[in-house]
Amino acid sequence: MYLIFRCNCGRAMYSKEGVIQKKCVCGKIFKVKSRRILAKTEDVQLAIQKVKELQEEKYGGAVFTTADKI
């Protein structure tokens, strides 16, 4: 089971159920059980997809490309 939640900075994240602490890219370390759980999934690929959807919902769509196309 994977849990999807947000950091205080607003970034959506996922973690495997049972993990005690998680560190965000912003540098904040927090206890997973104290976060508000936005969703739960059984599969890691579904968790990744849900995080992408939440990030796009908050910050808009991201367009990824390779360096040779810039």
- CATH homologous superfamily of domain 2-69? Structural Genomics, Unknown Function 30-nov-00 1gh9 Mol_id (3.90.820.10)
Where do the structural domains in the chain lie, given as residue ranges? 2-69
Confidence of residue 66 (pLDDT cuts 50, 70, 90): confident
Angle at 41 between CA 19 and CA 34, to 5 degrees: 40
The helix/strand/coil state of 36 is coil
What's the pLDDT score for residue 12?
A: 92
What's the pLDDT score for residue 47?
A: 94
What's the pLDDT score for residue 2?
A: 95
pTM of the predicted structure, to 2 decimals: 0.78
How many DSSP H helices and E strands does the chain contain?
1, 5
- Look over the chain and give the mean of its residue pLDDT values, rounded to a whole number: 88
Q: d(Cα 47, Cα 61) in Å, to the nearest integer? A: 18
Q: What is the pLDDT of residues 23-49, one digit of tens each?
A: 998 999 999 989 999 999 999 999 999
